[in-house]
Structure 1
Amino acid sequence: MTKLTTGAFLIGILAIGYFTVVQPASAVAQSLDELATGCAGCHGENGVPIDKTIPNIWGQNRSYLLTQLLDFKRGHRVNEQMSPMVEALSKTDMEALATHFSKLSWPDLQQPPVPDDVKAKARAILNPLNCRGCHQEHYQGDMVRPRLAGQQDDYLVKTMTDFHTGDRKTYLGMVALMKSIDEADIKALGAYLAALKLPGHIDQPH
């Protein structure tokens, strides 16, 4: 074996060793089904989350889902469950997951009915703030804003409270709006929005 050939051989061996030993396990590609199954551990196999403070993601707007995954990946949002889950995801993985879940039917989370006085209170708060200007007429969201209608009550309350206190700062407009609301009124908003259904739309039973 010549000196040049020997050198090339050694470089090849070192390269193989690097990719075998140094490359992390996360570099192994997972199928979309495998990735989605990991999400189901918290968000529910049938679209109904295992905890009321966890959001429904079935049928949620694609761009919003992708933005949230990217925010967790970049550390703009921190959550003890979500942050480790997205650490190994590529942008392609996140785009595939956002597309997958956005195409699923929004589940019926069986939110409790809201008394008329709570409805009136919520509307008196939401209408002057023109929340439908961003979240649309029926709170169905748009290309970048999430659907709020029919979302988990406790999740909505927690999210609005986090914006109110400044614990969540990913949308400065929301921080300003929620700070203008008394924290004691946020529960009424969550109950009202959670009980809304989109006209002509039947949520899937779980």
Structure 2
Amino acid sequence: MKKYLLIGIPLVIVLLLAVFGSDLLGLYRLQGYITTSTAAYLADGGPWPHVTDTCTVCHGVKGNSLHQGYPSLAGQPAPYLETQLHNFAGEARRNPNMGPLAMTMSDPQIKSLAEYFAGATPVANRYFKPDQQLREKGQHLVAAGNCVACHGSQLMGHDQFPRLAGQGYDYLLAQFDEFASGTRSEPTGVMKSLSQGFSPEDRKAIASYLANLDPKKN
């Protein structure tokens, strides 16, 4: 009997591995993935939940939006992000999603969030394919408008001037239109003046060029 058990048990194990081996290997790999992902999550911002988790839905993982209508936050200057969140909270800048969210945040949370996204690495807006003629026109208009004077040589922004390079086309166009109409404002008044000086087609061209730029951290 003992002899049969010694032979039978290994055979059963072999049969079980043959039938369920791939599933067991999958579970082992899943466990490894969960462990690695958890460690990375904790290293990225401490225990769950992160304040940034809410932002991911619209602004993408680590602030790199996959939607042309939502801005990428990665690589945006921290002072600019902080100011905009305060503007949303105080309704100086209006948005049905950002307003209520910003109102729930404390000053330290706003500062921490701004610093987190400012330190994130921006990626190219690879889902936008511009019309080349429109893009070239936009490039000339950006040069003529001397956008680099405020937004930096790479159009990555600094201080209170936002990153423009690689932002979503729809978002950029919407902001130009809002500045032109007076719906959105900024302290210098430059954006309103510039936007009003451009035709709707000019704004589309500028948005096409900027959305297609590869963002490079300064």
TM over 0.5: yes
Partner of 2:50: helix, strand, or coil?
helix
What residue in structure 1 maps to residue 156 of structure 2?
Answer: 140
Structure 2 unmatched ranges of 5 or more: 1-46
**What TM-score do the two structures reach when normalised by structure 2?**
0.71
Partner of 2:63: helix, strand, or coil?
coil
What residue in structure 2 maps to residue 39 of structure 1?
Answer: 55
Alignment of 1:1-206 (within 5 A): 33-49=49-65, 51-171=67-187, 172-198=189-215
CA pair 165-33 structure 1, distance change in 2 beyond 3 A: same
Letter in structure 1 aligned against 2:195: M
Q: Is the Cα–Cα contact under 8 Å of residues 53 and 155 in structure 1 kept in the other structure?
A: yes
Larger fraction in helix: 2
**What TM-score do the two structures reach when normalised by structure 1?**
0.75
Quick one: distance in 2 between partners of 1:32 and 1:178? 42
Alpha carbon RMSD of aligned pairs, Å?
Answer: 2.1
Deviation, structure 1 residue 113: 4.3
Q: Is the Cα–Cα contact under 8 Å of residues 32 and 96 in structure 1 kept in the other structure?
A: no
Deviation, structure 1 residue 105: 1.1
How many percent of aligned residue pairs carry the same amino acid?
A: 29
Q: Is the Cα–Cα contact under 8 Å of residues 148 and 154 in structure 2 kept in the other structure?
A: yes
Give CA-to-partner distance per residue, 1:14-62, whole Å, 9 cap, x none: xxxxxxxxxxxxxxxxx78531111112212353436321101122111
Quick one: distance in 1 between partners of 2:103 and 2:81? 16
Q: Is the Cα–Cα contact under 8 Å of residues 43 and 50 in structure 1 kept in the other structure?
A: yes
Runs of 4+ in 1 over 6 A off after TM superposition: none
Aligned length: 170
What residue in structure 1 maps to residue 32 of structure 2?
Answer: none
Quick one: distance in 1 between partners of 2:145 and 2:48? 40
